[in-house]
Amino acid sequence: MYGWNGKILVVDLSNKTLKTLTINENVLSEYMGGRGFGVKFLWELTNPTIDAYSADNVLVFAVGPLTSTLIPTTGRFTVTAKSPLTGGIFYSSCGGFFGFKLKNSGLDALVIKGRCEKPVYLQIDDETFQLKDATHLWGKTTKETIKILEEDLGKDYSFACIGPAGENLVRFACIRGGDGNFAGRGGLGAVMGSKKLKAIAVKGTRKTKIADEKSLTELMKKIRVRISWNPVLSKALAYYGTSALVNIINEHEILPTKNFQLSRFKDAEKISGEALREKIFVGRKSCYNCPVACKRVVKLENMKVEGPEFETLGSFGSMLMVNSLEAIVEINQLCNELGLDTISTGGTIACAMELSEKNVLDEKIGWGDVEKIKKLIVDIAYRKGLGDKLAEGSKIFSERIGFSDVSMQVKGLELPMYHPDGVLGQALAYTTSNRGGCHLNAYLISVEILGYPYLMDRFSPVNKPNIVAYLQNLAAVMDSMVICKFLGFEFDEETFAKLLVAVTGKPYTQESVVAAGERIWNLERVFNFKAGLKGEEDKLPSRFKVDVKPMLKEYYEVRGWKPDGFPSKNKLKNLGLKVEEDAVGSQGSL
């Protein structure tokens, strides 16, 4: 078999069994890996109505057919589970080297079911798999955990682990996948915590088999040249990392400021990519085999660390009115070690700050109060005092005190750093994302602000539903192959189909690649509907002026969905979602 290993490891934590299974060839072709496997396996193995923290929730760590090849950015992996933050299906993609090693161990995916009584970690070494006691790791930060495991097992391993936030079931706890890489969003770290799975250590020596080495080598030459031609990939991301976006987004007046009450931050320059580069930058880092190397290494007096990314600069900078780059670096580091998603943490604290300003909270939390922010972050991770309430995420927190309009989220997921009022397509993408308030399911900023592949009128709704649906399908494919989203600034299904053919030998075409993305998208939508996230949840917080309703109606039509937002029978049939159609039918939705 080319491209895939054709094998998954199923771990049942409740009865401590580990067994490998062969994956059906059709599933490989149609769902590819990564996020596609995530939704396929979750759909097969869970009831979408379960509680995200129940033993029945399933965590799927998966790589794709392109993982661990010479194709750039192919060291990534995805994690999928039912999210404790959104209540829907949630995948998160993580860079670094863990995916590369997981693939080299001979597996395409790990499926983790059940729940342990005592903390464990999973060790994978080629064909050897074992669950090991992790009592000594429980309570440790992500950095400490990796350090101890590295000392115990050696540096050949890559690690994925959670911090105290995941252990304490903070609804937006993340999973750390090595040095500065995180499966950040959706609270998947808390799902790991609920299963008492502290970490996964993996190493492997296999190589991905390539069907047509010669074609792949030729394709690779062209891909490298095109990356070097692309200003975003070869200039902006390489020179500034994602922090390049701070000034760009602020100048377009869509940088969320003061919990989205404003869209321009007067001190943006101070926390910009330019400032970062000038004041604290000391080097670049990359994930496995990536010429872009967008990761920053920065140095403060007392620390040399990775980051922060644009989203973090926004969520702890403009959102909280913090104008000190150094303070944001420290806050970012705190979140990374405690295992917290920075976007949701910043968004939730911003919500609390606004409520404090409105005198709704007993506790005073002033805008820009760095020490207070740090204390709140620690309290969230350990669920102490107000932190315990904020650990539920801004949606639940604000609803419980009767001020839900102050939570800037969609489907429970705090919004990323693009104010939707100034980018209509991105507003629709937020509204319809299967993850909730997310920019990675369809990055309209690329066409509405950056001009890749060309610049569309950001204030016009014309053709946006089509583009949103197309980019969502494409994102689903990229997350399933599994490659970095940043390649989307230069490449599309034309290149992806060629790569898949060269690596797997399967007859992929541009059409079948996009159809795979559409299949994955629709199955996620079906899962979410069954989990309770229906069409009514496709909405933005009332704070925003943008009216997405007309675009939403058109979007449903473009998708071939019914007026209530559920995929039509025909659509499901055309996508080959036969089994799923029956299952959904039995729920009475069709």
Partner 1 sequence: MPLVPKEVYEELKDYCSRLAQRGYVTAHGGNASIKAGNLMWITRHASSLEKLRFEDVIQVYLDKPSSFDALSSTETIVHRQIYLETPNLAVLHAHPPNSVALSFFMNEIIPLDTEGYYVLRKIPVVEGSPGSLELAKNVAEALKTHYAVVVRGHGVFSAAKYMDTAYQYLCMVEHSAKIIILTKNLEKAGFKFIQPKKF
Binding site for ligand SF4 (CB under 6 A): 73, 95, 286-287, 290, 292-295, 484, 486
3-state helix, strand, coil in the chain (%, to 5): 45, 15, 40
Upper half-sphere CA count for residue 15 (Cβ side, 13 Å): 5
Q: How many CB atoms lie within 10 A of CB 162?
A: 30
Phi-psi region of 59 (alpha: psi -120 to 50; beta: other; left: phi over 0): beta
Name the residue nearer to ligand SF4 (CB basis): 179 or 414. 179
Q: How far is the CB of 189 from ligand SF4 (least distance, A)?
A: 19
Name the residue nearer to partner 1 (CB basis): 56 or 274. 274
Name the residue nearer to partner 1 (CB basis): 191 or 245. 245
Q: How far is the CB of 396 from ligand SF4 (least distance, A)?
A: 31
The item of partner 1, ligand SF4, none sharing an interface with residue 450, based on CB under 5 to 8 Å by kind, is partner 1
Q: How far is the CB of 285 from ligand SF4 (least distance, A)?
A: 7
Query: Are the C-beta atoms of residues 423 and 254 closer than 8 Å to each other?
Result: yes
Name the residue nearer to partner 1 (CB basis): 248 or 467. 248
The item of ligand SF4, partner 1, none sharing an interface with residue 525, based on CB under 5 to 8 Å by kind, is none
The item of partner 1, ligand SF4, none sharing an interface with residue 73, based on CB under 5 to 8 Å by kind, is ligand SF4
Cβ-Cβ contacts under 8 Å for 329 (sequence gap 6 or more): 280, 298, 300, 303, 305, 307, 308
Q: How far is the C-alpha of 78 from the C-alpha of 37, rounded, in Å? A: 9
Instruction: List the helix and strand counts (H, then E) for the chain.
Output: 24, 17
Q: How far is the C-alpha of 456 from the C-alpha of 411, rounded, in Å? A: 27
Residue 305 φ/ψ, nearest 5 degrees: -140, 175
Q: How many CB atoms lie within 10 A of CB 421?
A: 17
Strands 295-299 and 304-306: antiparallel
List Cα–Cα distances, 427 to 318, 464, 539, 551, in angstroms. Answer: 20, 10, 9, 10
The item of ligand SF4, partner 1, none sharing an interface with residue 95, based on CB under 5 to 8 Å by kind, is ligand SF4
Q: How far is the CB of 447 from partner 1 (least distance, A)?
A: 10
Question: Which has the closest alpha carbon to 184: 414, 526, 446?
Answer: 414
Q: How far is the CB of 77 from ligand SF4 (least distance, A)?
A: 12
The item of ligand SF4, partner 1, none sharing an interface with residue 519, based on CB under 5 to 8 Å by kind, is none
Q: How far is the CB of 244 from partner 1 (least distance, A)?
A: 4
Q: How far is the CB of 243 from ligand SF4 (least distance, A)?
A: 12
Query: Are the C-beta atoms of residues 443 and 486 closer than 8 Å to each other?
Result: no
Q: How far is the C-alpha of 306 from the C-alpha of 293, rounded, in Å? A: 12
The item of partner 1, ligand SF4, none sharing an interface with residue 573, based on CB under 5 to 8 Å by kind, is none
Name the residue nearer to partner 1 (CB basis): 30 or 448. 448
Cβ-Cβ contacts under 8 Å for 30 (sequence gap 6 or more): 36, 516, 519, 576
Q: How far is the CB of 226 from partner 1 (least distance, A)?
A: 10
Query: Are the C-beta atoms of residues 454 and 447 closer than 8 Å to each other?
Result: yes
Q: Which residues pair with 159 in a beta bridge?
A: 201
The item of partner 1, ligand SF4, none sharing an interface with residue 576, based on CB under 5 to 8 Å by kind, is none
Q: How far is the CB of 292 from ligand SF4 (least distance, A)?
A: 4
The item of ligand SF4, partner 1, none sharing an interface with residue 272, based on CB under 5 to 8 Å by kind, is partner 1
The item of partner 1, ligand SF4, none sharing an interface with residue 484, based on CB under 5 to 8 Å by kind, is ligand SF4
Name the residue nearer to partner 1 (CB basis): 303 or 455. 455
As a dihedral over the C-alpha atoms of residue 184, residue 189, residue 192, residue 193, rounded to 10 degrees, the angle is: 170
Q: How far is the CB of 95 from ligand SF4 (least distance, A)?
A: 4
Query: Are the C-beta atoms of residues 189 and 345 closer than 8 Å to each other?
Result: no
Name the residue nearer to partner 1 (CB basis): 225 or 579. 225
Binding residues for partner 1, rule: CB under 8 A, are 225, 228-232, 234-237, 239-240, 243-248, 251-252, 272-274, 450-455
Q: How far is the CB of 73 from ligand SF4 (least distance, A)?
A: 4
List Cα–Cα distances, 406 to 53, 329, 347, 361, 379, in angstroms. Answer: 26, 26, 10, 13, 21
Environment class of 471 (CB within 10 Å of its CB; exposed 0-12, middle 13-18, buried 19+): buried
The item of partner 1, ligand SF4, none sharing an interface with residue 286, based on CB under 5 to 8 Å by kind, is ligand SF4
Q: How far is the CB of 182 from partner 1 (least distance, A)?
A: 23
Name the residue nearer to partner 1 (CB basis): 248 or 487. 248
The item of partner 1, ligand SF4, none sharing an interface with residue 486, based on CB under 5 to 8 Å by kind, is ligand SF4
Name the residue nearer to partner 1 (CB basis): 118 or 221. 221
Question: Which has the closest alpha carbon to 157: 167, 173, 145?
Answer: 145
The item of ligand SF4, partner 1, none sharing an interface with residue 235, based on CB under 5 to 8 Å by kind, is partner 1
Name the residue nearer to partner 1 (CB basis): 89 or 232. 232
SS3 131: strand
What tokens were used for 551? 């675009």
What tokens were used for 113? 């079911």
Name the residue nearer to ligand SF4 (CB basis): 95 or 166. 95
Name the residue nearer to partner 1 (CB basis): 21 or 455. 455
The item of ligand SF4, partner 1, none sharing an interface with residue 229, based on CB under 5 to 8 Å by kind, is partner 1
Name the residue nearer to partner 1 (CB basis): 270 or 411. 270
Query: Radius of gyration of the chain from Cα atoms?
Result: 22
Environment class of 494 (CB within 10 Å of its CB; exposed 0-12, middle 13-18, buried 19+): exposed
Q: How far is the CB of 449 from partner 1 (least distance, A)?
A: 8
